[in-house]
Structure 1
Amino acid sequence: MREQDTRTGGRHVVVIGGGIAGLAAAHRLLDRGERVTVVEASDRLGGKLLTGEIAGARVDLGAESLLARRPEAVGLAREVGLADRLRPPATATASLWTRGALRPMPKGHVMGVPGTASALTGVLSDEGLRRIERDAELPRTEVGDDVAVGEFVAARLGREVVDRLVEPLLGGVYAGDAYRISLRSAVPQLFEAARTHDSLTEAVREIQAKAAGQPQTGPVFMGIEGGVGRLPLAVAESVRARGAEIVTGAPVTELRRAAGAGSPEAGAAAGRWRVVTPGRVLHADAVVLAVPAPAAAALLRAETPAAAAELATVEYASMALVTLAYRSAGITLPEGSGFLVPPVDGHTIKAATFASRKWGWIAEENPGLLVLRTSVGRHGETEVLGREDADLVEVSRHDLREATGLDAVPVATRVTRWHEGLPQYPVGHHARVARVREHVGALPGLAVCGAAYDGVGVPACVASAYAAVDQLGGDRAGLDALITNPVRSLHGGAGE
């Protein structure tokens, strides 16, 4: 096994993980003047960001959009040469497929929680609307240190609000269960408002009033021409050009603090950290661990068993994306970019995106072709994801036919499975993350980042990476900002 001594010539940092968080960390480290090696276990870079083709059309097979109201992801895209490729959605309107019909996505809500009952007219039953009105009469509901989104909203406004709107919106982000997801982590602005208001609808109206007083210009979301999956590849190209080494197909099997310099066992290659991969040992002054929680737990077990134990409890949801291509002649779809599906309605798909309509560049590059995609799978659902690809295509076609009337035969299909793709943020997630960082922070030269900590969206992962790098340099401002002002990890709209 080859031992590599990298101590000469300045500080050397190893980034473990070649997803967008790890690559963003490498980019930031180079800005700080560090020497960087990125090691990725799989044979490709990008993690959950992946581009591909169907019937000759370039498409995303993972996340398809960036939350543009936060600066990190679009800023990184611009820095690595993608500024002229950033594209807003051609249409931002979406629908809900609920109670037997496609209904316009309501406005005037915060992650599905309305400021007034009238905001959900057409989506809820008359009884459900009347239940919302009772919120003003109910005694205050204490949220304590944290509470489940679904539990809290149902107590204030009734289960119908949760089941018909909150659940599909949260499901689009986390593929999780609204009755388990943390209000503090998933909708932090609503959590803070709920702590100071007796009425939930009043709290929502205050959030809306503040937003109206600080209007933001520009699109809420951005895509990238050719697919968001181009972002990690562009970042990788940039960091390589600036001297970083990126190694794929190199799973890290051991992460240990190296023996002290000058000790007999350390030899000439002594460093602060020893990173073992097949056939190679890296000695580094610092390490950024940017891998999913189970992998992080395994690597941290030797040096910080307490952090490893915390990370080992993080649960993940698996999902599949079914991409379908049709000849567009004679096909008429409902208006908008797609639709979300409340699980209470009993359908298999949880969302559908009319990709050719949402992203104008797909239609421009592929006239005569219509590309759609559906998503299948939520936390705890194992049976549906155990089906063959052909079965997932068929159930997607069935639900699309029921929702939109689309009965054409696709000219091509593609199923992309994301096993344990989305970490879950249950009640107490913020406290667990704080404990992990406390344990990790006790080890000099080590930091963690990624979707398991501060948000599952691309901007959240980039912000997490930047905070980790800054922390290694002694600057905790970014990390403190994540703790005191959690990243809103909403991304993608209908279909995500």
Structure 2
Amino acid sequence: MPSDAVTHRPHVAVVGGGIAGLTAALEVLEALPDVNVTVLEAADRFGGKLRVEPVAGCVVDVGAESLLATRPEALDLARRVGLEADLVVPATTSATVWSRGALHALPRATVMGVPTDPRAALGLLSEDEVERAVAEEAWPEDVVEGDVSVGDYVGRRLGRAVVDRLVEPLLGGVYAGHADRLSLRATVPALWERAVRGESLLAPLPVRAPEGGAPRSPFTGVRGGVGRLPLEVVESLRTRGVLLRTGAVVRGLERAGERWRLVVGSAADPVALEADAVVLAVPPTPTSRLLAELAPVASRALAEVETASMAVVTLAVRRDGLGDLPGSGFLVPPVEGRAVKASTFSAAKWEWVGSLSSDVVHLRASLGRAREEAVLQREDAELVTLAVAEVGEVLGRPLPPVVDHHVQRWGGGLPQYAVGHVERVESVRADVARLPGVEVAGATYDGVGVPAVIASAARAARGVTDHLMSTTASPGGSR
């Protein structure tokens, strides 16, 4: 080491205080406890699309309300921050699809709506449409060599009705997108693998015997709301001395010798913040802007990633007169031309929600799809009226009086994994890899679900810690 080396604690700046940024900060600190970490969030609160709010005096989720349990990352994080005792399974996962004026059960054995036995979808599909799916056609080239859209591939092989009535509502629920634009490889990798091998889309699903012999739900919730997860991570970070800043807009990123300089604050009053490593855990558009001069290839690729906006309308209606709710909720295919794309009967799906009040019942409606944001230009009151009318129509009876409501808008909240998305992400990461100590994370890269987002954050944190360990003698050593 040079005799004039400056001894200091390395500083990591995390841009974005959603679950990706918060997880990245936690992972860095668990690997290198002596590092200084700052989390910069442009909004007035942390948590991103995981959020709880009071509705009729009861705190419920107004963002994501379940965690995929077939992957470990989200459940592991929940346990690490003290939520293990509050992890719960749904009381029911029986979902339906509103199609052709009636509710139809969603076949249980599907891959993103593609049924292993099309006959199980009779009713949702007509007899002719079932016969078309059973008579599965081969792909013209036998195997898929380049990425294709979900709609194109499934439609050619099983018929358009399978796309319109089964695949679209599920894709809409996850991505708020459309099958004809979304990448088969990126959004349904299980079908992609079959496609490249030239296998049938109707092959039976592999059966895995669960431990203990009892079937497990593919989803898990959190008593008190999934929105508690980022709040608990925030508390864990606070106890470790992390500087957590809200209202902190990062407007620029530039090289400062061997370090990085972030420009934070308003254009009229910018403040410089230097760091040894940076995690960019924000949506594709702001990430593209920050990388424009440093990594132009990555910047251009990120600028190509569209995002969809949506709104979640949470209703608290009087329990008297509501009657029984059919399962956990329903999905609506775009072909139906409705404003509501899905509804969750929260009080039926989650026992803890159902027991919140003896007087009211909580349920949700989701509105908005990619390139169909016109409905979201309506005032909150209009969205509530739409949700009440359409949910009541599906149930076949008017909803009881609404005691309270909450409208949560997620502007540009869901990145669209268009055809070629996997290659696009690879080009982003390859270009960013030229920037020592800079990493990217979030829903843009490897999946929009909470576990996938957490996994991307852990990957970014490993990149940061590897960089710091390679450039310092120790976590608190000399440069």
TM-score normalized by structure 2? 0.91
Contact kept? 1:320, 1:385, Cα under 8 Å: yes
Measured after TM superposition, the shift of residue 57 of structure 1 is 1.4
Match of 2:318 among 327, 332, 336: 327
- Which residue pairs with 1:55 in the alignment? 56
1:245-264 aligned within 5 A: 245-260=243-258
Quote the offset at 1:340 in angstroms: 0.5
Tell me what 2:432 maps to: 440
Measure the CA separation in 2 of the matches of 1:320 and 1:100: 24
What amino acid sits opposite 2:206 in the alignment? A
Q: How does 1:299-318 map to 2 (within 5 A)?
A: 299-318=290-309
Deviations 1:123-182 (A, max 9, x none): 100110110122167765432221101110000000000000100001000000011111
1:428 aligns with 2:426: no
Match of 2:452 in 1: 460
Answering whether residue 261 of structure 2 is matched by residue 274 of structure 1, we say yes
- How far apart, CA to CA, are the structure 2 residues paired with 1:222 and 1:120? 26
Report if the CA contact (8 A) 2:310-2:373 is conserved. no
CA distance in 1, matches of 2:208, 2:142: 24
The one-character-per-residue Cα deviations of 1:386-427 (angstroms, maximum 9, x if unpaired) are: 111121111111111211024122111221111111000010
Q: 1:198: Cα distance to partner? A: 4.3
1:391 corresponding residue in structure 2 = 382
Query: Take 1:389 and 1:322, find their aligned partners in 2: how far apart are those partners?
Result: 9
Counterpart residue type for residue 221 of structure 1: F
Query: Which secondary structure state, in structure 2, belongs to the residue aligned with residue 455 of structure 1?
Result: coil
Using the alignment, how far apart are the partners of 1:284 and 1:412 within structure 2?
A: 45
- What amino acid does structure 2 have at the position aligned with 1:471? G
Match of 1:150 in 2: 151
Deviation track 1:257-301 (CA, whole Å, cap 9, x = no partner) reads: 1125xxxxxxxxxxx111121353221111111000101011111
- Please say if 1:29 is aligned against 2:28: yes
For 1:123, what is the secondary structure of its paired residue? Answer: coil
Alpha carbons of structure 1 residues 53 and 351: separation in structure 2 relative to 1, 3 Å: same
> Partners of 1:212 and 1:158 in 2: how far apart?
32
Q: CA deviation at 1:446?
A: 0.6
How do 1:192-203 and structure 2 match up within 5 A?
Answer: 192-202=193-203
- Deviations, residues 62-90 of structure 1 (Å, cap 9, x unaligned): 11111111111111011011111211111
Counting aligned pairs with the same residue, the percent is 51
Comparing 21-30 with 381-390, greater Cα deviation is found at 381-390
Per-residue CA distance 1:20-42 (angstroms, 9 max, x = gap): 00000001000111321111111
Structure 1 residues 401, 146: closer, same or farther in 2, change over 3 A?
Answer: same
Measured at CA, do residues 213 and 330 of structure 1 come closer, stay the same or move farther in structure 2, by a change above 3 Å? closer
Amino acid at match of 1:249: G
Q: What CA distance in whole angstroms lies between the structure 2 residues aligned with 1:125 and 1:454?
A: 36
Aligned mates of 1:292, 1:137 — CA distance in 2? 38
TM-score (norm 1): 0.88
Matched, 1:109 2:110: yes
SS of residue in 2 equivalent to 1:200 = coil
Match of 1:13 in 2: 12
Instruction: Pick closer, same or farther for the CA change 1:217–1:442 going to 2, 3 Å.
Output: farther
Q: Which residue of 2 aligns with 1:209?
A: 206
Within a 5 Å distance, the mapping from 1:18-417 to structure 2 comes to 18-33=17-32, 34-135=35-136, 141-202=142-203, 205=204, 208-209=205-206, 211=208, 218-260=216-258, 272-278=259-265, 280-407=271-398, 408-417=400-409
* 1:333/1:406 contact within 8 Å kept: no
Per the alignment, in what secondary structure is the counterpart of residue 473 of structure 1? helix
Does structure 2 conserve the Cα–Cα contact (< 8 Å) formed by 1:333 and 1:404?
A: no
Q: CA deviation at 1:243?
A: 1.7
- Output the CA distance in 2 between the equivalents of 1:171 and 1:256: 38
Secondary structure, in 3 states, of the residue corresponding to 1:281?
A: strand
Q: Structure 2: how far apart are the matches of 1:411 and 1:44?
A: 27
Q: Secondary structure at the match of 2:341?
A: strand
Partner SS state of residue 181, structure 2: coil
Conservation of the 8 A alpha-carbon contact between 2:143 and 2:198: no
C-alpha distance in 2 between matches for 1:140 and 1:210: 30
State the distance in 2 between where 1:308 and 1:113 align. Answer: 35
**1:195 shift after superposition:** 1.2
User: d(CA) in 2 for partners of 1:216 and 1:468?
Assistant: 36
Taking only aligned residues, the RMSD between alpha carbons, in angstroms, comes to 1.8
Conserved 8 A contact 1:67-1:222 = yes
For structure 2, the 5+ residue unaligned runs are 1-5, 468-479
